[in-house]
Structure 1
């Protein structure tokens, strides 16, 4: 991340996602559990998480920086999501993220997104236009093992909000 030092990220852009509200609530209610945030991530008033735009992303890419690690049950529950991306996959959009699997980081598809055809432009100050997209999210089959099979593929996740 040394290339990103000294760069300014606009606070009105980024990705906001609550992952799966009931799961995050469960972790936070468990005694001794933790929800840790990596640099580039913040917590929103609604309980969701904010990820900053990746300053090293290619032009037009929807890549973000930051991470969330949720732990409970003395470490038996340990779920990490880092550096999410919204990627085009064939006929739709998928939210992918890095996660810790079998002792290594691996990028997996987490959510299938119902992406609107044309995002709504917003005014974000004089001379600035931000495009906001809110997409419905469903658990991708490849992410079922991340949650230890607790949720089946297609389970509803928190909506994904992207502002670029």
Structure 2
């Protein structure tokens, strides 16, 4: 697993829609793990713990269909902490400033090297999904699995929005 893995299914209804298209498909890069349940596993490659946490993942998935009119690339997601809120960005080109916010949310549970993030469409996420999901639309819950050393390094980083939902 390395230092960690971001498991995220994007949006179940979107995956079903793409799969039902005559030419619908989802391409995954070689780095992506397939942990099951429709989730894609993006390996954690870098952690910036202070002053604000940024977790960088590698790999990408590309949803395609409608003769090329449907083209949704989700490449190299990063999680950025802003207070008790987490923002997910993806690469939208080459270069350091070529990232776009597609989702945001909060930690719903954390413990034993696992963090659950409840995400909603934000930023340009609605445009990325062709305008079909307005800002605020619920996405699949993201699961972050951390190796013990990474979990220890980030111990104070993942505090659930509702402290009563912390698991141990």
TM-score by length of 2: 0.75
Deviations 1:83-107 (CA, angstroms, capped at 9, x unpaired): 111101255111111136xxxx931
The answer on 1:115 being equivalent to 2:107 is yes
The answer on 1:149 being equivalent to 2:131 is yes
Judging by fraction of residues, say which structure has more strand: 1
Q: Is residue 5–residue 44 contact of structure 2 (8 Å, CA) maintained in 1?
A: yes
Aligned length, in residue pairs? 139
Distance 1:161 1:20 in 2: 13
Aligned position for 1:86: 79
When residues 88 and 59 of structure 1 are mapped into structure 2, their CA distance, relative to the original with a 3 A threshold, is closer
Structure 2 residue runs of 5 or longer lacking an equivalent are 147-168
Aligned position for 2:159: none
TM-score by length of 1: 0.77
Secondary structure of the structure 1 residue equivalent to 2:141: strand
Structure 1 residue runs of 5 or longer lacking an equivalent are 1-8, 122-130
Secondary structure of the structure 2 residue equivalent to 1:134: strand
Distance 2:22 2:124 in 1: 29
The answer on 1:160 being equivalent to 2:142 is yes
Deviations 1:1-21 (CA, angstroms, capped at 9, x unpaired): xxxxxxxx53x8310000011
Distance 1:47 1:139 in 2: 19
Deviations 1:3-55 (CA, angstroms, capped at 9, x unpaired): xxxxxx53x8310000011111111111122210012112232011111111x
Structure 1 runs (4+) deviating above 2 angstroms are 58-61
Aligned position for 1:24: 15
Root-mean-square deviation (Å): 2.0
Q: Structure 2 residue aligned with 1:138, among 96, 110, 120?
A: 120
